[in-house]
Structure 1
Amino acid sequence: MSFGPPPSIYTESTLAADQARARRRRRVFGVVAAVAVVLCAGGALMWSGSGDRPSDDKPSATRQAPDDIRETTEKVPSSPEGRLMIEHDEENLSKSTDANPRYAPGTWATDKILAKGVATRIEGYNIALDADEMAWTLKLGGHICATSRHVTADGRTAVVIQPPQPKGSEKDGVCDQVVFFDLNTGKKLWQKKMPAANTAYVTNTNLTLTKGVVAVAWGRGSVAYDMKNGTQLWNSTTTSKCEDKAFAGGRALLALLSCGELPDTTYQVQKLEPRTGKVQWTHRVASGVQTVYLPSSDPPVLAVAAGDSVVTDLISLDGEGKNVATISLTGYDAKCGARYFALSYFGTFENCDGVVVGRTQAYVMSKEDLGTEQVDDWIIAFDLKSGKTAGKFDGRDLQMVYPLRMNGDELLIYRRGSGNIGPAAVVSWNPRTDKETPYLFFTLPEDDEFKLSDPEQSDIIFEKGRVFFAKRELVRDDEYPTDSVLMAIGIGPAGLKH
């Protein structure tokens, strides 16, 4: 199945684009300046209920090998006052509408570069205060079909692409090539054609990374490559009743298998030795489960939709694949498979934007609660061994909170801004002490705040002290169809050196 518009030619008026940027910057800097005043005049108000800034109780960091999957532990900034660092617009969207968007899957950051996938290319932007400088463009020769959130410790990642084929041909719409590249330089390190992948499409191709290995599954087959040089390590072509539906990477490699035909499909989860594909254990999911997601490979945690298409439970497993605890998600919003209006585009099975899994706990956001006058939502920490609650982080009235990722043994949280009520923020929460540490206070452009702050519509990532927001679908402004449209924005601490 083909999808997406052809590569665009940039004919947008530079003057109009600069004027749009200037308007947004005035809004951003105006509110950030107000934040600075609040911090200077009464920072305790912003940090109320959070205690002092930590000195001894800091997240721990471990040194990683270059091909480990990155696990960043952030440093507490000297000041959480935010400053605009990157603002990038996409142009020539006059033909892109809600019904026919320009897809922009994949957002990654290093200490030097923000990288964004869009249509048939990946762009890298230099990270510098109030800059909009393109560092590199990697032309892929085909639309992006699958991405992974994982990045190696030395800044590499991969995408699957759909090479162009003649319309109506047997391979029209097939996604059968993997591109591994360096985020800091934009250099393509290798590109490989997936074996026997004639049934790999944007709707069923799933990509992940684990230590030294890139793995792809598409239902009828799967393949794993050595990160070093793209050498194929192993592959499978399914002829049995069970298919490799997806992988979960990171510290380990899990495979999700679907067995049988609908409506009688059952699921298995296997832990694999990444370099050989050898099965180390198999966990058979109870019958009646409609869908399984893999938010974490180590510790192994499953998000299951039992009797419904919406995730109903988290299941934690031990080192042998046996059930340890089942956590009911009644009243919670795991946001698994919630991107692209619940269409299974670009790889879905590792993406549960309402869940973050740490070493001993899972953090889940609640559903939005408009009936309370105190907070709109909250985040609950669940112990993975007992399944019991182990802490609660409240949002604020008109300021929802979303879990982002682990920060050592703490949780990074994005709290939305709300006009004059309070700025947006990224904070680190220690569930053992209930201490909240501010990392950034900032505001987002008013016209784009809703979409940028919604994890179902935009990537929200925090890396090396900066927070980035990047839309996954780009459409024209119907009122000004020839204007450029904000695609990505980055905020960093005012005192951060580059």
Structure 2
Amino acid sequence: MTQPPQPPNEPPQGGFGAPQDPPPGGFGAPTPPPSDGLTKQPPAAPPTPPAGGYGSPPPPPPAGGYGAPQGPPPGQPPQNPAYGYPQAPPPGQPPTQPGYGFPQAPPPGQPPTQPGYGFPQQGYGYPTAPMHPQYAAQQPGGGKKFNTRMQIIVAAVVAVVLIVGGGVIYASSGGDGGDKRTDASSAGPDGGEGKGGEGDGLAGGTEKAPADTKSELGLQLRHPKVTDTTVVDGSWVTDKVYVKTGVYEVVGYDLAKGTKLWSIPLPGQVCAASRHMSKDFRTAIAFQEGKPTAADKYPSCNQIGGLDLATGKLMWNKSVTSDSSGDEPVRFNEVTLSGSTVAAGGTSGGAAFSLADGAELWRPKTDANNCSDRGYAGGEALAVVRRCGDYDDSQLTIQALNPSTGAPISSYNMPAGVDYASIVSTKPLVVAADVGDTAGDGSGISDFFSIDAATGKLIVRISADADKYAAKCGSTEVETCQSLAVGNNKLYVPTEEHEGTGEYGDTNEIVAFDLTTGKLVGGRADAGNDYTITPLRMDGSNVIAYKRPPYDKGGQIVSINGSTFEETVLMVNPDTEKVREAETSFSVDYAEFIYEKGRLFISEKMISEPSKSAAANDRNYLVVSFSTV
């Protein structure tokens, strides 16, 4: 779960550790050439990778890349192959099993399967850098081919070995923090199936594959001019309007034409937005009390507002105080929606409001143990991360709440070594945390916790190796997890990028954990050569996912059957140069991706002033969209 580079510091209201704005142009995206705009062009032949120069893909690696079998020094006897490769058996002994991740032999009478996750593949999107000559000279043969001796060993081993995947489960106890835990690093496919949709293809969801999956470029909005890092978090799609946060406003655009339909002016900048929306297209935002001044460069984010996205109206806005904030209004970091309840939280307190009229419903209770609500997660249910005790000796508790009263339905105490926790899903209740800061990559995830929301008892704890899985959660924010999805009693996560079989690029897969056993279930959804795949959301029992393309293709949207992992293509974006550059200027880690009924909207969550060195023709987009309808 690799943490991308961080952009310039954000204002205090975003919260420590909040996602930062990536550099203009996205990570590794080619710099667009001078042009007259993003116009629809006839398909062009795939470009030949440039020979060199800054930003261009390096040449393919020389023969014998990293991990290839190494030959012995001159005059020396052959050495054992590298760790993980099948080893030659001693004379007279039967062959041993191959190492973890090496292709396994199929059961008798079954066709061979694809190589497992972790098998040597190729690099992501662009050619990998050539190996240092010192090491390249040690590699026998060319590319990924085995030498003759190794081919014989592999053939002998694979022909006779049958590996049965398994998991390692152990139980521990000790108060509320005790748990049954599954080690996801060693848990293997067990062939188990969760409750999913019936039938194949799109039977489990509402999104349908169009007759023609080729999309056309739609809405294109350039960055508004700003002089400092500015939060533009929040985007929604109704039956008629695409809505996006701007600078001191929230704007609605016609779905089909992309024209501006309405604007909701705000006294200050939006600093947080609910990712949820009611059935009648209402949602909530948090925004600053005013615009920056010389005396107050970062106005307090103390206003909560209800938005009617169907009519383009700010229905109400409120602020509250708390026992810990005195007369000062609470400064909010997050806001969410569950049913008709808007819940907002911050470091100094929180409150809940009626979505319809802003009437205050409840505030979190304080006690002698210095307890406070750190933030809420909404959706089908409402849950909170609550901290009690001193900062250096505190206890985090996950509570399922009654949205109308704020009363706890259940409580689960997180284990020692958890300073922050994120709520992945409220129904079922799934929590992510970096226990003891062991993830080591800034992803905020070392373990997932599947909790019974009715009783507060832990169902299973899943150790998610940060070197293998690529989901991500905010450091201090409760409801900012991304690149994962929960449904069918499963947790769907992408693997980290690894070498594929394509000519240049890396690839990855989406796999799933059973939320009752914690084991990896059978099956996976492959990104395909040179693509990387990221789950966006559930669609019934299906998973909607985005495939980020290599340098010469357009991105894709696919629907994945939640049980069989069969993929159905819903959208293929244009591969013309200017359109590719616009699409890949957005980072999957820092942008909002919304796919609804044949339309894909990609938008920034934070923008900043262009650097002085940026070329005049650089195209920095706030939003781009694609459509097959």
TM-score (norm 1): 0.79
Q: Do the aligned partners of 2:238 and 2:309 also contact (CA within 8 Å) in 1?
A: yes
- C-alpha distance 134-268 of structure 1, shift in aligned 2 (>3 A): same
Which secondary structure state, in structure 2, belongs to the residue aligned with residue 236 of structure 1? coil
Which secondary structure state, in structure 1, belongs to the residue aligned with residue 275 of structure 2? coil
User: Quick one: distance in 2 between partners of 1:371 and 1:465?
Assistant: 29
Q: Kindly state the Cα deviation for residue 264 of structure 1 after the two structures are TM-superposed.
A: 2.7
Match of 1:193 among 319, 342, 346: 319
Of 356-365 and 260-269, the range deviating more from structure 2: 260-269
Report the counterpart of residue 75 of structure 1 in structure 2: 208
The reply to whether residue 183 of structure 1 matches residue 309 of structure 2 is: yes
The reply to whether residue 266 of structure 1 matches residue 392 of structure 2 is: no
Report the counterpart of residue 23 of structure 1 in structure 2: 37
Aligned residues: 430
Report the counterpart of residue 170 of structure 2 in structure 1: none
Match of 1:147 among 256, 260, 273: 273
Q: Output one character per residue of 1:4-27: Cα deviation in whole Å (capped at 9) or x when no partner.
A: 9xxxxxxxxxxxxxx98953233x
The reply to whether residue 292 of structure 1 matches residue 418 of structure 2 is: no
- C-alpha distance 168-281 of structure 1, shift in aligned 2 (>3 A): farther
Q: Kindly state the Cα deviation for residue 207 of structure 1 after the two structures are TM-superposed.
A: 0.8
1:54-453 matches, within 5 Å, as: 58-60=202-204, 73-93=206-226, 95=227, 100-128=228-256, 131-164=257-290, 173-196=299-322, 198=328, 200-201=330-331, 205-236=333-364, 238-239=366-367, 240-308=369-437, 310-318=444-452, 319-330=454-465, 331-337=468-474, 348-370=477-499, 375-390=506-521, 391-420=523-552, 422-443=553-574, 445-452=579-586
Which secondary structure state, in structure 2, belongs to the residue aligned with residue 491 of structure 1? strand
2:219 aligned partner, one-letter code: I
Q: Percent same amino acid at aligned positions?
A: 29
User: Quick one: distance in 2 between partners of 1:297 and 1:157?
Assistant: 18
- C-alpha distance 463-385 of structure 1, shift in aligned 2 (>3 A): same
Q: Do the aligned partners of 1:104 and 1:473 also contact (CA within 8 Å) in 2?
A: yes
Report the counterpart of residue 39 of structure 1 in structure 2: none
Report the counterpart of residue 68 of structure 1 in structure 2: none
- C-alpha distance 170-233 of structure 1, shift in aligned 2 (>3 A): farther
- C-alpha distance 349-480 of structure 1, shift in aligned 2 (>3 A): same
User: Quick one: distance in 1 between partners of 2:245 and 2:400?
Assistant: 30
Report the counterpart of residue 67 of structure 1 in structure 2: none
Q: Kindly state the Cα deviation for residue 57 of structure 1 after the two structures are TM-superposed.
A: 5.6
Q: Do the aligned partners of 2:387 and 2:394 also contact (CA within 8 Å) in 1?
A: yes
The reply to whether residue 491 of structure 1 matches residue 622 of structure 2 is: no
Q: Do the aligned partners of 1:91 and 1:483 also contact (CA within 8 Å) in 2?
A: no
User: Quick one: distance in 2 between partners of 1:78 and 1:274?
Assistant: 43
Q: Kindly state the Cα deviation for residue 2 of structure 1 after the two structures are TM-superposed.
A: 6.4
Q: Kindly state the Cα deviation for residue 137 of structure 1 after the two structures are TM-superposed.
A: 1.1
Q: Do the aligned partners of 2:352 and 2:363 also contact (CA within 8 Å) in 1?
A: yes
Which secondary structure state, in structure 2, belongs to the residue aligned with residue 307 of structure 1? helix
- C-alpha distance 401-57 of structure 1, shift in aligned 2 (>3 A): closer
Match of 1:456 among 578, 585, 589: 589
Q: Kindly state the Cα deviation for residue 277 of structure 1 after the two structures are TM-superposed.
A: 0.8
User: Quick one: distance in 2 between partners of 1:305 and 1:393?
Assistant: 26
Unpaired stretches in structure 1, ≥5 consecutive residues: 5-18, 35-48, 62-72
1:306 aligned partner, one-letter code: V
Q: Kindly state the Cα deviation for residue 255 of structure 1 after the two structures are TM-superposed.
A: 0.8
The reply to whether residue 474 of structure 1 matches residue 474 of structure 2 is: no
Which secondary structure state, in structure 1, belongs to the residue aligned with residue 584 of structure 2? helix
Q: Output one character per residue of 1:50-71: Cα deviation in whole Å (capped at 9) or x when no partner.
A: xxxx98764456xxxxxxxxxx
2:445 aligned partner, one-letter code: V
User: Quick one: distance in 2 between partners of 1:302 and 1:370?
Assistant: 30
Which secondary structure state, in structure 2, belongs to the residue aligned with residue 449 of structure 1? helix
Q: Kindly state the Cα deviation for residue 389 of structure 1 after the two structures are TM-superposed.
A: 1.2
Q: Output one character per residue of 1:122-167: Cα deviation in whole Å (capped at 9) or x when no partner.
A: 1111111xx4411111111111121111111121111011112786
Q: Kindly state the Cα deviation for residue 119 of structure 1 after the two structures are TM-superposed.
A: 3.0
Choose 1 or 2 for highest CA Rg.
Answer: 2
User: Quick one: distance in 1 between partners of 2:460 and 2:12?
Assistant: 42
Q: Kindly state the Cα deviation for residue 396 of structure 1 after the two structures are TM-superposed.
A: 2.4
Q: Kindly state the Cα deviation for residue 92 of structure 1 after the two structures are TM-superposed.
A: 3.0
User: Quick one: distance in 1 between partners of 2:506 and 2:258?
Assistant: 36
Of 218-227 and 245-254, the range deviating more from structure 2: 218-227
Q: Output one character per residue of 1:336-389: Cα deviation in whole Å (capped at 9) or x when no partner.
A: 11xxxx6x6xxx321211221114111011122248758521111111111111
Q: Kindly state the Cα deviation for residue 464 of structure 1 after the two structures are TM-superposed.
A: 2.4
What RMSD, in angstroms, separates the aligned Cα atoms of the two structures?
A: 3.0
2:536 aligned partner, one-letter code: L
2:427 aligned partner, one-letter code: D
User: Quick one: distance in 1 between partners of 2:45 and 2:341?
Assistant: 45
Which secondary structure state, in structure 2, belongs to the residue aligned with residue 289 of structure 1? coil
Q: Kindly state the Cα deviation for residue 235 of structure 1 after the two structures are TM-superposed.
A: 1.2
TM-score (norm 2): 0.63
Higher percent of residues as strand: 1
1:400 aligned partner, one-letter code: T
User: Quick one: distance in 1 between partners of 2:485 and 2:380?
Assistant: 14
User: Quick one: distance in 2 between partners of 1:407 and 1:241?
Assistant: 41
Q: Output one character per residue of 1:74-120: Cα deviation in whole Å (capped at 9) or x when no partner.
A: 23323212112211123435x4xxxx333321111123211111232
2:279 aligned partner, one-letter code: A
User: Quick one: distance in 1 between partners of 2:563 and 2:292?
Assistant: 58
Unpaired stretches in structure 2, ≥5 consecutive residues: 1-10, 15-32, 47-113, 115-197
- C-alpha distance 426-482 of structure 1, shift in aligned 2 (>3 A): closer
User: Quick one: distance in 2 between partners of 1:166 and 1:486?
Assistant: 24
2:569 aligned partner, one-letter code: P
Which secondary structure state, in structure 1, belongs to the residue aligned with residue 507 of structure 2? coil
Q: Do the aligned partners of 2:281 and 2:308 also contact (CA within 8 Å) in 1?
A: yes
User: Quick one: distance in 2 between partners of 1:246 and 1:33?
Assistant: 50
User: Quick one: distance in 1 between partners of 2:260 and 2:481?
Assistant: 31
Of 440-449 and 309-318, the range deviating more from structure 2: 440-449
- C-alpha distance 290-75 of structure 1, shift in aligned 2 (>3 A): same
